[in-house]
Amino acid sequence: MTLVRTSLRTILNEPRPDALERWFGDVTDPRERGEELARLDQERAARLAYLIGPPATARLVEPVDRNTAADFLGQLPLPTLIETIGRIRTDRAAAILREMPSPLVVEVLARLGRERSAPLRTVLAHPPTSAGAHMTPVFIALPADTPAEEAIERVRESAADGAVAFTLYVTGDDGELLGVVPFRALVLAPADRPVGELMRTRVIEVTAEADREEAARLLNAHDLAAIPVVADGRIVGVITADGVADIVEEEATEDAERQGGSAPLDVPYLHASPWKLWKKRILWLLVLFAAEAYTGTVLRHFEEELESAIALAFFIPLLIGTGGNTGTQITTTLIRAMATGEVALRDMGRVIRKEMGTGMLIAVAMAGAAMVRAWTLGVGPQVTLVVVLAVGAIVLWSALVSSILPLVLRRLGIDPAVVSAPFIATLVDGTGLIIYFEVAKLVLW
Amino acid sequence: MTLVRTSLRTILNEPRPDALERWFGDVTDPRERGEELARLDQERAARLAYLIGPPATARLVEPVDRNTAADFLGQLPLPTLIETIGRIRTDRAAAILREMPSPLVVEVLARLGRERSAPLRTVLAHPPTSAGAHMTPVFIALPADTPAEEAIERVRESAADGAVAFTLYVTGDDGELLGVVPFRALVLAPADRPVGELMRTRVIEVTAEADREEAARLLNAHDLAAIPVVADGRIVGVITADGVADIVEEEATEDAERQGGSAPLDVPYLHASPWKLWKKRILWLLVLFAAEAYTGTVLRHFEEELESAIALAFFIPLLIGTGGNTGTQITTTLIRAMATGEVALRDMGRVIRKEMGTGMLIAVAMAGAAMVRAWTLGVGPQVTLVVVLAVGAIVLWSALVSSILPLVLRRLGIDPAVVSAPFIATLVDGTGLIIYFEVAKLVLW
């Protein structure tokens, strides 16, 4: 199905309307569109915006990744940029502006016209990970005595005006949120029924300062099309299912990066310089290095034992590696189960029993594997016995630590996602060596 | 805000209607409801279903996690179970039935009545990770000449009948999909306009056999409320945004488990027995053990060098640990960037240049840290030099391998998520030791 297509860049060398139109027809995936936009230089970007005009430019960049959109729009002449930003829906426009240099943002907001800049300023005033930063401040609010028919008419007008959520909010005299009427309920109701009789009064809402993850969790848990954002009891905006999909994706990326043992990047990977990547990674590397340095102390402590049975050294990476692997399997599964809310603090007992049971089974299997390996290395029966016993003990120890630690951290209010694979490997390395050499001392001397 | 609430279990000891009603009012989060349902025994489960009746039972379990819903419903008397299943929307009912024992499912389907069992059988016939398994086969399809007003009326009727997607599909005489009319477009159109003139003909669709991830990707990329599922060109069902949220969550969990170096669990963690967990984990542990066993061969090969400078052994865990950590940081970031589509195969050159640049900066920092550590262990200037050089070389080597490997696997059609933290650590351990001892041979002898 993939044909060789003319790239947007080539088309813009000598643009013909039909070629451009064909491109818009063929390339519909926002991700692909973004990739092609990213490859335009300033001249071609400006030419494209000029040819299709601000409304089409706004529709083009709106669903594209915000960094790409910001880079592309930043290349346009200022008047074109301002007119285009003015036509992008508020939550997306704010997300794009956050990626632009501040002087340009100040300029754009100053020249945008109050009606359009005021809602953008409202959204931009909230910290990037708050619910307020992801809302769109355009929503439909009506008094309780509005008849259903009139409300539908108002929704039609608002939709033409660019409101993104069709959900109707019923508000009191001071703008306080009284209830909510889903659009489907509105359409299915008799024409003269006042919206106050149709509304659900138990409204699921978030405050503007709440964490954006809370908004995402509530919207998904209750299968809502949009969730209202309130400040001082008044509705100030809504977050749509769409906005939540973006939040969920960004949070998942941050968790993945934490699990890999680095601080989350706040820009897309390809936009990050080596210097930026270094800054995000080096702290954890040094912390882990310092913790792992302890293994040197342990080994020096057992220097004599090591010298008298050098074969013990052969198994060091294998034993501590197996301990780390066992632990990593447990923590990743557990941290994910905690993130989806499946495992809670009070399940601690169940988790430990389950993991110790599994650890026992794994210890037996790995002891068998260790026996085979010791035999193939030809290290003699005594060292073999040490290795077999040590691997079993290390697997059990690692399982115990790995199943308790994430729950303890959660208990202390620390995000358990910091227990990354490198973290658990480091923790088990030093303690695993102590177990190994203590077993060796028992068996060999 | 958290009050001490009476649990559902306690309420059902001696149920009073007002207590039950208060519970439904207080506990609205499906996750919390699920947790309380999971704690009911057979007697209380049956009592609850009897008290609230099948329609309310269906509404209660529909949004709850499917394993919990299946366990709860499985405890009910067969006639109650059948009536309840018949009232749950098809995609959710199918998901719940998949978690029940087959003989029970056969019994339920046989006694459900053809009208209700036929769509369920259609969905259940598709493999669990296909798009078809997540569709609901109830949708609204009308001929192209239907006027908008009439279409709205039909949507109202369908909504009352339990259709979940309000999107209108326009079909030809043989059921072939001609176009799609979003509900908002329908509501905003003049009453007599035929839907054929309102429809978009470039329809985003998936085939029933397509991977469910493809459906999720398309729906999110195009911001759709629902995506039609086709078989032989005919529309057979729709997947809603809701269904997609479930797919995305399950796929993210599977990826997290793979990244932790185990096979994905196909049941929730708390439902998995130690035996089941063992089966999912042991294969990768043994594979990694076998690969890591190579470190023993390397160390035996350098036995003489090790015996003549036992201090070299002190740094083994530290050096290979640092190599593994560096690599894990890179692979997790890269695999996530590939999963979100941000990094593609053709970015290979950029990725490697970026990572080698970052690797250089990290190597310098870690070499400094290694110097400090060697000095504190008091191992003399020669071994210190070996350790400093080796840590730099291992960091660079690990960065190179970790940045190339995920892209190469993708090229070969293998899911790069298999490059877990334990995988990369194992790979770097053996090769890192070779680097270490080769550097030692150069410097010391």
The answer for A 32-71 residues in CB contact with B (under 8 A) is: 35, 63, 65
Assess B202–A contact: CB distance below 8 Å, yes or no. yes
Q: pLDDT-derived band of residue A41, with 50, 70 and 90 as boundaries?
A: very high
Lowest-pLDDT range of A186-190, B53-57, B214-218: A186-190
- Per-residue pLDDT tens over the stretch B403-433: 999 999 988 988 888 888 888 989 999 999 9
% of residues, chain B, pLDDT over 90: 49
Is the pLDDT score of A415 beyond 60?
A: yes
Q: Could you tell me which residue, A18 or B437, shows the higher pLDDT?
A: B437
What CA–CA distance (Å, rounded) separates A410 from A418?
11
Is the pLDDT score of A1 beyond 50?
A: no
Assess B300–A contact: CB distance below 8 Å, yes or no. yes
What does the mean pLDDT of chain B come to?
Answer: 89
Is the pLDDT score of A407 beyond 80?
A: yes
Q: Could you tell me which residue, A132 or A418, shows the higher pLDDT?
A: A132
Residue holding tokens 């270094």? Answer: A278
The answer for A 120-159 residues in CB contact with B (under 8 A) is: 152, 155-156, 159
What is the distance in angstroms between the Cα of A111 and the nearest Cα belonging to chain B?
Answer: 31
DSSP 8-state code for residue B387: H
- Per-residue pLDDT tens over the stretch A172-224: 988 889 999 987 788 778 888 999 999 988 888 999 999 998 898 888 888 78
**Cβ–Cβ of A269/B320 closer than 8 Å?**
no
What does each C-alpha distance from B221 to A64, B213, B216 come to in angstroms?
9, 12, 8
ipTM: 0.80
Q: Mean pLDDT, to the nearest integer, of B266-273?
A: 83
- Per-residue pLDDT tens over the stretch A340-364: 778 888 889 999 999 999 999 999 9
**Cβ–Cβ of A256/B285 closer than 8 Å?**
no
What is the distance in angstroms between the Cα of A337 and the nearest Cα belonging to chain B?
Answer: 7
Q: pLDDT-derived band of residue B255, with 50, 70 and 90 as boundaries?
A: confident
What does the mean pLDDT of chain A come to?
Answer: 89
CA nearest A431 in B: which residue? B317
- Closest by Cβ to A63, choosing from B223, B270, B333: B223
Q: Mean pLDDT, to the nearest integer, of B201-216?
A: 90
Is the pLDDT score of A263 beyond 60?
A: yes
Q: What order of strands is seen across the sheet that includes strand A226-231?
A: A206-207, A226-231, A234-240
- Closest by Cβ to A328, choosing from B261, B307, B318: B261
Q: Mean pLDDT, to the nearest integer, of B84-111?
A: 93
In the numeric block, which tokens belong to residue B424?
């990369």
pLDDT, position B2: 47
- Chain B residues with beta carbon closer than 8 angstroms to that of A256: 256, 259, 332-333, 335-336
Q: Mean pLDDT, to the nearest integer, of B375-384?
A: 90
| Angle ∠(B84,B90,B94) on CA atoms, nearest 5 | 85
Which among B263, B54, B226, B58 has a CA at the least distance from the CA of B134? B226
**Cβ–Cβ of B260/A329 closer than 8 Å?**
yes
Is the pLDDT score of B209 beyond 50?
A: yes
Q: Mean pLDDT, to the nearest integer, of B351-377?
A: 93
**Cβ–Cβ of A202/B28 closer than 8 Å?**
yes
- Closest by Cβ to A253, choosing from B253, B328, B340: B340
The answer for A 237-256 residues in CB contact with B (under 8 A) is: 241-242, 245, 248-249, 252-253, 256
Q: Mean pLDDT, to the nearest integer, of A318-328?
A: 93
Q: Name the CA dihedral angle for B241, B243, B247, B249, rounded to a multiple of 10 degrees.
A: 80
What CA–CA distance (Å, rounded) separates A219 from A204?
8
Which among A137, A167, A154 has a CA at the least distance from the CA of A231? A137
Q: Mean pLDDT, to the nearest integer, of B20-29?
A: 86
What CA–CA distance (Å, rounded) separates A20 from B430?
54
- Per-residue pLDDT tens over the stretch A136-169: 888 889 999 999 989 988 887 776 666 666 788 9
Domains, chain B, in order of start with CATH, read 8-125 (1.10.220.30), 140-248 (3.10.580.10), 293-444 (1.10.357.20)
Q: pLDDT-derived band of residue B170, with 50, 70 and 90 as boundaries?
A: very high
Q: In B309-377, where does DSSP find H-type helix?
A: 311-314, 316-339, 348-377
**Cβ–Cβ of B270/A329 closer than 8 Å?**
no
Is the pLDDT score of B379 beyond 70?
A: yes
Q: pLDDT-derived band of residue B165, with 50, 70 and 90 as boundaries?
A: low
When computed from its CA atoms, the radius of gyration of chain B, rounded to whole angstroms, is 30
What does each C-alpha distance from B410 to A10, B31, B136, B329, B348 come to in angstroms?
28, 36, 33, 18, 11
Q: Name the CA dihedral angle for A133, A136, A142, A147, rounded to a multiple of 10 degrees.
A: -140
pLDDT, position A344: 84
pLDDT, position B389: 96
Is the pLDDT score of B353 beyond 80?
A: yes
